[in-house]
């Protein structure tokens, strides 16, 4: 491969006391590529993604963005190089409304340095409408919104700014079918713009529909990394559950190759 | 049919917009309480509604109000500052000592406020760097600042600080005094006391910071969900530090007002004032679990406390009974906060 990957994670480790949440994981992402990250609950997917997002400092390992080594002290460091994250927990401040959450930490200001809430409201309206045309409760504290609406705000926040790498940790868990379809469209659109995406998901259908490549984690290890054409859903399920491919996978693949 | 439904829905939406949200409702009921208190005390005692007593209330409330504003910022971040009563005393003592050392009054008061801000900074650093819970950290500072104030003065008040020192606490804007033929001055219009003006200016400034500045937004976000704020790029530790420094500095300002009023620096002043400040903030709608609060509410709360104390005094209620009543009011306000959070 001649192209420099957008992101390379090399030999990443994360320990919590005796727990090895992430154990010697190496993973890369190319521009315009969607990589599905699968695994049981507790496999270490969120930890790996939080490390890339700058929300967690790895115990060991190196991260390169566009070939250059980076060290994120906090999420701002990752944002500065264009890494945006939709956290599994959504990371919304419950008492604030949608525009305030969308721009939290990156507030728009007037010439005098005051908060420009009017402009933030207008911008929020625009980007939220792109995801859900019926989104109306822009002035309500987000604690009063539905799970789907909250998720839409978290997604909007990750695509509004100049995103180069998008981490989506179970982004459709609380969404209905129409919103999920909207997110699928969005992923294809962002992919066409050359954005690299990590998609953590439990939905095998979505993963096979949207991703170019799947990686599977099991007990902190990366147990498999395959182009979508190489594996079927049963193969991936076996990787998730047993941490290895089915016994007949090699034979099948050889047969297909001939 | 469908048109009717649409109109109804639209009407509902518009009604929604006029329905005050929970926080505003809380503030409105606090305001109502305040009005009822004023009417009640006016009926109970004729001298309650006099010009002189109004000025007394303004003065008493300005100290609670200044402390309450800083407390509100801290409470919105999800913290608490138990040290303000002691920091108030330490600041006043520092100012008094500077004046005694020959410094002009204004720089001396400035140093007193700086001493208060420094106490706040220590609070903030202990909480964010050493990860000590705010309750414990500021309880420690409560003892440290009080001990310092007593140690520095040998527990004796500093008096004879001069007329200039007393101007802030006793002076007034637009005061009209006429010399009578018998040589005694007669106050025609008592004017607006400086402490009341100071309180107004500080309240407007704090409200501006909380509503219109980024740091204000981050104060709310930090108290609402600290982890979410951190993940959103808010420098949570800096935000908390800011709130505690503001609380300390405003305790310093309050200390200067109070000591100036007494024209004496009293190291034992301000005991339990932190409870009045917390009560003012909570009565005004600030939530001890963070993320909610407003300066306007705290001002109403401060006046409720100030008027309650003053009115009970005027009505001849004993100091002991007063304590009981204010204790009940504080518990009641926090209880309302709890009920509100459960919904
Ligand atoms: N902050 C933390 N402190 C201690 N252990 C953690 C922490 N975060 C995650 N873990 C542990 O790390 C492992 C991986 O968790 P996680 O990355 O959330 O899994 P996944 O997202 O794949 O479900 C789990 O065993 C979890 O208990
Ligand atoms: Mg997870």
Is the CB–ligand 1 distance for residue A148 below 6 Å? no
> CA quadruple B274, B279, B284, B288: dihedral positive or negative?
positive
Average pLDDT rounded to a whole number, residues B223-231: 97
Q: Which residues from chain A sit within 8 angstroms of residue B228, using beta carbons?
A: 89-93, 104
Check residue A258 and give its pLDDT.
58
Of A137 and B302, more confident: B302
Of A90, A96, A106, which is closest to B224 when you measure between CB atoms?
A: A96
Check residue B5 and give its pLDDT.
40
Of A245, A190, A178, A257, whose CA–CA distance to A218 is shortest? A245
Kindly state the percentage of chain B with pLDDT values over 90: 69
**What confidence category does residue A142 fall into, taking pLDDT thresholds of 50, 70 and 90?**
very high
Let me know: does A169 contact A45? Beta carbons within 8 Å. Answer: yes
Check residue A257 and give its pLDDT.
60
Kindly state the percentage of chain A with pLDDT values over 90: 73
> CA quadruple B258, B259, B263, B268: dihedral positive or negative?
positive
Which range of A196-210, B104-118, B169-183 scores highest in mean pLDDT? It is B104-118
Average pLDDT rounded to a whole number, residues B138-142: 98
**What confidence category does residue B343 fall into, taking pLDDT thresholds of 50, 70 and 90?**
low
Report the C-alpha gap between B221 and B215 in whole angstroms: 10
Please indicate whether, in this complex, the C-beta atoms of A104 and B212 are within 8 angstroms of each other.
Answer: no
Let me know: does A9 contact A28? Beta carbons within 8 Å. Answer: yes
pLDDT tens by residue, A93-106: 999 999 999 999 99
* Mean of the per-residue pLDDT values of chain B: 90
Of A90, A95, A107, which is closest to B224 when you measure between CB atoms?
A: A95
Report the C-alpha gap between B241 and A104 in whole angstroms: 19
Q: Which residues from chain A sit within 8 angstroms of residue B292, using beta carbons?
A: 95
pLDDT tens by residue, A162-190: 899 999 999 988 888 888 888 899 999 99
| Residue that has been written with the tokens 């040998």 in this structure | B154
pLDDT tens by residue, B151-188: 999 999 999 999 999 999 988 888 888 888 888 888 87
Task: Just give the CATH number of B2-342.
Answer: 1.10.3470
Please check whether residue B16 touches A, CB under 8 A: no
Please state, as a whole number, how many other Cβ atoms lie within 10 Å of the Cβ of residue A157: 26
Report the C-alpha gap between B17 and A137 in whole angstroms: 11
* Mean of the per-residue pLDDT values of chain A: 91
Which residue's C-alpha comes closest to atom 9 of ligand 1? A47
Average pLDDT rounded to a whole number, residues B320-332: 88
Check residue B177 and give its pLDDT.
83
Of A93, A169, A154, whose CA–CA distance to B229 is shortest? A93
Dihedral pair phi/psi, residue B174, rounded to 5°: 65, 25
Range in A110-114, A202-206, A248-252, B194-198 the model is least confident about: A248-252
Report the C-alpha gap between B51 and A37 in whole angstroms: 73
Please indicate whether, in this complex, the C-beta atoms of A74 and B221 are within 8 angstroms of each other.
Answer: no
Q: Is the pLDDT of residue B79 over 90?
A: yes
* C-alpha angle B333-B319-B337 in degrees, rounded to nearest 5: 5
Which residue's C-alpha comes closest to atom 4 of ligand 1? A16
Most ligand 1 atoms within 8 A of CB, residue of A15, A37, A41, A44 to mutate: A44
Question: pTM to 2 decimals?
Answer: 0.91
Q: Which residues from chain A sit within 8 angstroms of residue B233, using beta carbons?
A: 74-76, 79, 104-106
Report the C-alpha gap between A206 and B306 in whole angstroms: 62
Of B66 and B171, more confident: B66
Q: How far is the CA of A175 from the centre of ligand 2 (A)?
A: 17
Quickly list DSSP for B246-299.
HHHHHHHHHHHHHHHHHTSB-TTTTTTHHHHHHHHHHHTT--TTSS---HHHHH
Of A76, A89, A115, which is closest to B217 when you measure between CB atoms?
A: A115
Let me know: does A159 contact A186? Beta carbons within 8 Å. Answer: yes
Which range of A247-251, B203-207, B289-293 scores highest in mean pLDDT? It is B203-207
Check residue B2 and give its pLDDT.
41
Is the CB–ligand 1 distance for residue A43 below 6 Å? yes
pLDDT tens by residue, A33-75: 999 999 999 999 999 999 999 999 999 999 999 999 999 999 9
Kindly state the percentage of chain B with pLDDT values over 70: 93
Of A167, A168, A201, whose CA–CA distance to A38 is shortest? A201
Is the CB–ligand 1 distance for residue A104 below 6 Å? no
Q: Is the pLDDT of residue A194 over 70?
A: yes
Check residue A87 and give its pLDDT.
94
Provide long-range contacts, Cβ within 8 A and 24+ apart, for A11-15: A11/A60, A11/A61, A11/A62, A12/A48, A12/A51, A12/A58, A12/A60, A12/A61, A12/A62, A12/A63, A13/A58, A13/A59, A13/A60, A13/A61, A14/A44, A14/A47, A14/A48, A14/A51, A14/A56, A14/A58, A14/A59, A15/A59
Please check whether residue B291 touches A, CB under 8 A: yes
Which domains does chain A carry? 7-95+164-179+187-257 (3.40.50.300)
Which residue's C-alpha comes closest to atom 10 of ligand 1? A21
Q: Which residues from chain A sit within 8 angstroms of residue B21, using beta carbons?
A: 141
Q: How far is the CA of A90 from the centre of ligand 1 (A)?
A: 16
């Amino acid at each position: 491969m001649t192209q420099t990957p957008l992101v390379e994670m090399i030999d990443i480790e994360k320990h919590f006391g005796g727990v090895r949440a992430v154990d010697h994981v190496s993973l890369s992402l190319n521009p315009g590529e969607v990589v599905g990250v699968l695994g049981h609950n507790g496999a270490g997917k969120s930890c790996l993604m939080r490390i890339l997002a700058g929300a967690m400092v790895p115990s060991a390992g190196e991260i390169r963005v566009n070939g250059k080594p980076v060290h994120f002290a906090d999420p701002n460091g990752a944002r500065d190089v264009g890494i945006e994250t939709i956290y599994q927990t959504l990371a919304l401040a419950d008492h604030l409304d949608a525009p305030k959450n969308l721009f939290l930490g990156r507030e728009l200001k007037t010439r005098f340095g005051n908060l420009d809430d009017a402009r933030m409201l207008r911008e929020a309206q625009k980007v939220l409408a792109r995801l859900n045309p019926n989104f109306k409760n822009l002035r309500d504290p987000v604690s009063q919104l539905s799970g789907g609406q909250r998720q839409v705000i978290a997604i909007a926040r990750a695509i509004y700014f100049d995103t180069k790498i998008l981490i989506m940790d179970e982004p459709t868990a609380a969404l209905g079918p129409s919103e999920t379809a909207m997110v699928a469209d969005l992923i294809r659109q962002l992919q066409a713009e050359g954005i690299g995406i990590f998609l953590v998901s439990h939905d095998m259908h979505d993963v096979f529909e949207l991703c170019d490549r799947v990686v599977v984690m099991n007990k902190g290890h990366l147990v498999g990394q395959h182009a979508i054409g190489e594996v079927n859903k049963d193969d991936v399920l076996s990787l998730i559950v047993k941490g290895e491919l089915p016994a007949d996978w090699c034979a099948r693949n050889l047969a297909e190759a001939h | 049919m469908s048109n009717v439904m649409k109109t109804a829905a639209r009407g509902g939406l518009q009604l929604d917009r006029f329905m005050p949200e929970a926080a505003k409702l809380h503030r409105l009921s606090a305001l109502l309480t305040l009005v009822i208190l004023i009417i009640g005390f006016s009926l109970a005692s004729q001298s309650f509604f006099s010009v002189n007593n109004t000025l007394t209330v303004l003065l008493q409330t300005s100290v609670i109000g200044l402390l309450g504003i800083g407390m509100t910022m801290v409470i919105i971040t999800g913290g608490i500052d138990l040290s303000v009563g002691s920091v108030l005393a330490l600041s006043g003592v520092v100012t008094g000592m500077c004046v005694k050392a020959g410094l002009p009054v204004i720089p001396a008061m400035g140093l007193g406020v700086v001493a208060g801000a420094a106490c706040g900074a220590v609070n903030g650093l202990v909480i964010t760097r050493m990860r000590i819970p705010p309750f414990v950290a500021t309880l420690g500072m409560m003892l440290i600042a009080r001990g310092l104030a007593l140690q520095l003065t040998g527990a004796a008040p500093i008096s004879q600080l001069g007329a200039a020192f007393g101007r802030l606490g006793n002076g007034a804007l637009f005061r009209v005094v006429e010399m009578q033929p018998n040589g005694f001055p007669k106050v025609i219009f008592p004017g607006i006391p400086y402490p009341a003006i100071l309180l107004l200016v500080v309240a407007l400034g704090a409200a501006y910071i909380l509503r219109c500045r980024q740091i204000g937004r981050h104060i709310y976000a930090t108290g609402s969900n600290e982890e979410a704020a951190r993940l959103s790029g808010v420098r949570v530790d800096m935000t908390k530090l800011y709130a505690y420094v503001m609380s300390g500095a405003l305790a310093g300002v309050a200390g200067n007002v109070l000591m100036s009023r007494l024209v004496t620096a009293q190291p034992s002043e301000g005991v339990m004032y932190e409870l009045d400040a917390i009560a003012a903030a909570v009565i005004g709608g600030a939530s001890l679990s963070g993320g909610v609060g407003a300066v306007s509410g705290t001002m109403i709360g401060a006046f409720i406390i100030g008027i309650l104390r003053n009115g009970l005094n005027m009505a001849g209620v004993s100091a002991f009974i007063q304590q009981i009543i204010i204790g009940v009011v504080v518990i009641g306000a926090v209880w309302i906060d709890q009920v509100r959070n459960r919904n």
